[in-house]
Amino acid sequence: MSIWEYANPKKFMETSALLLPWLTGLSAALLGAGLFWGYFLTPDAAKFGSTIKIIYLHVPAAMMAISAWMMMLVASLIWLIRRHHVSALAAKAAAPIGLTFTLIGLVTGAIWGQPMWGTWWAWDPRLTSFLILTLFYFGYIALWQAIEDPDTAADLTAVLCLVGSVFAFLSRYAVLFWNQGLHQGASLSMDKQENVSDVYWFPLLVCIAGFVLLFVTLVLLRTRTEIRARRMAALLSRERLA
Amino acid sequence: MRALLLRDLRLAFRAGGGFGLSLAFFLMVAVIVPLGVGPAPATLALIAAGVLWVGALLAALLSLDRIFALDYEDGSLDLLATSPLPLGGVVAMKALAHWLTTGLPLVAASPILAVLLNLPTQGYVWLLVSLAIGTPALSIIGAFGASLTVGLKRGGLLLGLLVLPLYIPTLIFGAEVVKSGAEGASIGTPLAALAAITAGAWAGLPLAAAMAIRANLR
């Protein structure tokens, strides 16, 4: 019994079919509870008014946007080292989800920033690095779409993911450096635990857990779709040969 | 390896087209920007560093697909991949040839364009230095991008989408060197970071590009 057992598509399909309903229900429950708690049962913050409540979407989405890329990186490494197809397909499946989380983070951030900073967008280091992360997601997804042979596509996107991770990391620090002296950087310290009082912290935790489960659920679901699509392509090509 | 470098250089010089083209494009950018933003010397001085670096980036991008595409089409890339040369070395030589034919002329021409853009005099040295250190990174990162898209029929647009995000750190530090240098501020940190990116990219990316080429040739 090892974790590599699940690299077998059949085993993966069986296990994920068992897990999916539970994961779906659990993430729905956690998200529902967390958002309800956050939106209706917490008081308005002194400085932020009711705009604080967007934190329950903004912070978990932003966290998952980065985690999704990390997961893609790990899955790509597994594909390059051990050549498990499920791993490559999971990386492929995670990319659009990660992109969506990134966009949610950017959009909710803009909606939050408008009343708080008086602007939809500022070239703040954090905002800029997120925009750059969006570009990396676009490139990764576009490369998957462009290549027909699935194994070549998996190889090339995996290499891109590795190199992209290094450069995304570099960009993060380059951007921090670049913005020094331009402006002080609107403080986003609401993210930090010590700055948020418990009233907001606990529903936020529930929402984060909900987002993590939502991500796992969606990745499993999309990976299953990818596996089925791969099987269908194999069947069709066999039919054509026969 | 030297033979490969010389071959690529000869091809670039004699086949025409690619060699002068990116330099001409660089010139175009430097001419078009003042037409767009207006001729006020103060504005131009402010944006000169950024415009020249962005111009260098785009000029490098234009000629990237030539690094491997022609060799891929006529089969020389298969021969190179099966030759006793390490494929990473082949990639490095091809990127070096790309730099010598597009990056180096660009570095040499940049002071002239800086006059057009009214760069403050203190900035000239740092413009030359930052481009000389930074453009090799553009070539090798570009070669990596080209190795990803070499098997595609219409890889041009995709190549831009893949490579430009990778260029961001180089651009930021490169432009920062020129800007700080023009203001007379200290340039140690961005210059060191720029050199680090170039060195790191040349050390790691040939291997990644070799992996991509092998996947493409399979």
A188 band by pLDDT with thresholds 50, 70 and 90: very low
The proportion of chain B whose per-residue pLDDT surpasses 70, expressed as a percent, equals 98
Q: Residues of A with CB below 8 A from B196's CB?
A: none
pLDDT > 50? residue A1: yes
Of B158, B172, B212, the CB nearest to A159: B212
Check A177 against B176: CB less than 8 A apart: yes
pLDDT confidence of residue A164: 92
Q: Where are the domains of chain A?
A: 22-41+49-186+196-241
Cα separation of B55 and A77, whole Å?
35
CB pairs under 8 A between A and B: 78
pLDDT confidence of residue A196: 60
The proportion of chain A whose per-residue pLDDT surpasses 70, expressed as a percent, equals 89
A88 band by pLDDT with thresholds 50, 70 and 90: very high
pLDDT confidence of residue A182: 42
ipTM of the modeled complex: 0.87
* Burial tier of B121 (Cβ tally within 10 Å: 0-12, 13-18, 19+): exposed
Helix (H, G, I), strand (E, B) or coil at A47: coil
Of A143, A159, A173, the CB nearest to B211: A159
A195 band by pLDDT with thresholds 50, 70 and 90: low
CA nearest A59: which of A109, A98, A128?
A: A109
Q: Residues of B with CB below 8 A from A167's CB?
A: 165-166, 168-169
Q: Residues of A with CB below 8 A from B144's CB?
A: 163
pLDDT confidence of residue A141: 94
pLDDT confidence of residue A172: 83
Check A155 against B197: CB less than 8 A apart: no
pLDDT > 80? residue A79: yes
pLDDT > 70? residue B114: yes
Q: Shortest Cα distance from A213 to chain B (angstroms)? A: 30
B47 band by pLDDT with thresholds 50, 70 and 90: confident
Q: Residues of B with CB below 8 A from A146's CB?
A: 149, 152, 155, 158
What's chain B's average pLDDT? Answer: 87
pLDDT confidence of residue A46: 64
Residue of A nearest to B197 (CA): A170
Of B173, B204, B212, the CB nearest to A156: B212
Contacts (Cβ under 8 Å, ≥6 apart) of A140: A72, A95, A157, A160, A161, A164
A112-133, pLDDT tens digit by residue?
888 877 778 878 788 888 899 9
Cα separation of B136 and B100, whole Å?
9
pLDDT > 70? residue B17: no
Check A163 against B190: CB less than 8 A apart: no
A130-161, pLDDT tens digit by residue?
899 999 999 999 999 998 888 899 999 999 99
pLDDT confidence of residue B81: 86
- Write the DSSP assignment of A83-133 as a string of letters: --HHHHHHHHHHHHHHHHHHHHHHHHHHHHHHHHHS-S----HHHHHHHHH
pLDDT > 50? residue B116: yes
pLDDT > 70? residue B94: yes
Q: Name the range with the highest mean pLDDT among A38-42, A165-169, B15-19.
A: A165-169
Q: Name the range with the highest mean pLDDT among A78-92, A117-131, B147-161, B174-188.
A: A78-92
Q: Decide: B68 and B213 in contact? Cβ < 8 Å.
A: yes
pLDDT > 60? residue A107: yes
Q: Is A166 on the interface with B (CB under 8 A)?
A: yes
pLDDT > 60? residue A194: no
pLDDT > 70? residue B108: yes
pLDDT > 90? residue A232: yes
A204-222, pLDDT tens digit by residue?
889 999 999 999 999 999 9
Least confident range from A15-24, B4-13, B57-66: namely: B4-13
Q: Residues of B with CB below 8 A from A177's CB?
A: 172-173, 176, 189-190, 193
Q: Name the range with the highest mean pLDDT among A32-46, B101-115, B126-140.
A: B126-140
pLDDT > 80? residue A101: yes
Backbone dihedral region for residue A83 (phi beyond 0: left; psi -120 to 50: alpha; all else: beta): left
Of B164, B166, B208, the CB nearest to A159: B208
Of B158, B164, B205, the CB nearest to A143: B158
